[in-house]
Amino acid sequence: MALGTVAITGAAGTIGQVMRTALRGEATRLVLLDRVPLHAEHVNETVHTVDLRDAAAVESALAGVDAVLHLGGIPDEAPLPDLLDANVLGTHHVLEAARRSGIHRVVLASSNRVTGFYATGHRTDPAEPVRPDGLYGVSKVAVEALGRLYADKFGLSVICLRIGSFEPAPSEPRHLATWLSPRDAIGYVKAALTAPASTRFATAYAVSANSRRFWELPTPDVLAYTPIDDAETYAADIPGAATPPDPESPQAGPYAEPDFTLRHLQP
């Protein structure tokens, strides 16, 4: 399926830059949004300096777009008001612009951190109840809920990707379960952008084919992509890789520690 005109929010971010390069040759046009100024690098690129909290600016930038890859927002733990402002309100503005503009597909960047309190010995399915490991995870739960609302109430086609540890290569023991390689990330995004129009709503873990992974891979009827890379290839170079985690410990690892969130709470 042709990609048509694809918008990427958060295009200046780590994942956004990778997707910009990967999709440039396949999309008819790329519309790139970020609050950081960008410069067009190809004839089929259009750039917009936009704060996602500005609903009118978001709607203007997304005019004429066929699909949106929404990556913009705060990518880690932060005070809840900031996360609600950037992640939840920003996502609402993207979805509302899609509804008003007739955009057929929105791919939302969720996170594995929405289920971080499941035990490492448990292979988690996206249909299971959420168990966020912090305020950031809570904001992504809200992002998924907004996506579901817009799919159910307004008929948008929304796919939520629960992104793993996006790194060029795994560098710590937890990554042996959670790593998402750039190659597999691109594969998941392309599959989400080109999923059948009949896909009204779906949630999938975007993780590489790690033999130690915590999460179920999407089935072909949900997302037609099979990951390729396995973090185990790098295990010999990662200190502590030979020691298995406590099967009762949270999948989130250090993100589940109280101190990780306490420092972001208002006094």
Residue 118 annotated among the catalytic residues of the structure: no
Element (H, E) at 184: helix 182-193
Active-site annotation holder among 118, 136, 188, 205: 136
Is 146 within 8 Å of 91 (Cβ atoms)? yes
Which pair of tokens denotes residue 65? 């777009």
| Cα 56 to Cα 9: distance, rounded to the nearest angstrom | 15
| Cα 66 to Cα 52: distance, rounded to the nearest angstrom | 19
Q: How far is CA 21 from CA 14, 72, 177, 248, in A?
A: 12, 17, 27, 40
Whose CA is closest to 169, among 243, 244, 232, 75? 232
Phi, psi of 151, rounded to the nearest 5 degrees: -70, -50
Q: What is the CA radius of gyration of the chain?
A: 18
Is 209 within 8 Å of 217 (Cβ atoms)? yes
Q: Where are the beta strands (DSSP E) in the chain?
A: 5-9, 29-34, 45-49, 67-70, 105-111, 157-163, 165-166, 179-180, 201-206
| Cα 90 to Cα 88: distance, rounded to the nearest angstrom | 5
Give the side-chain half-sphere CA count within 13 A for 134: 26
What are the residue numbers of the active site?
136
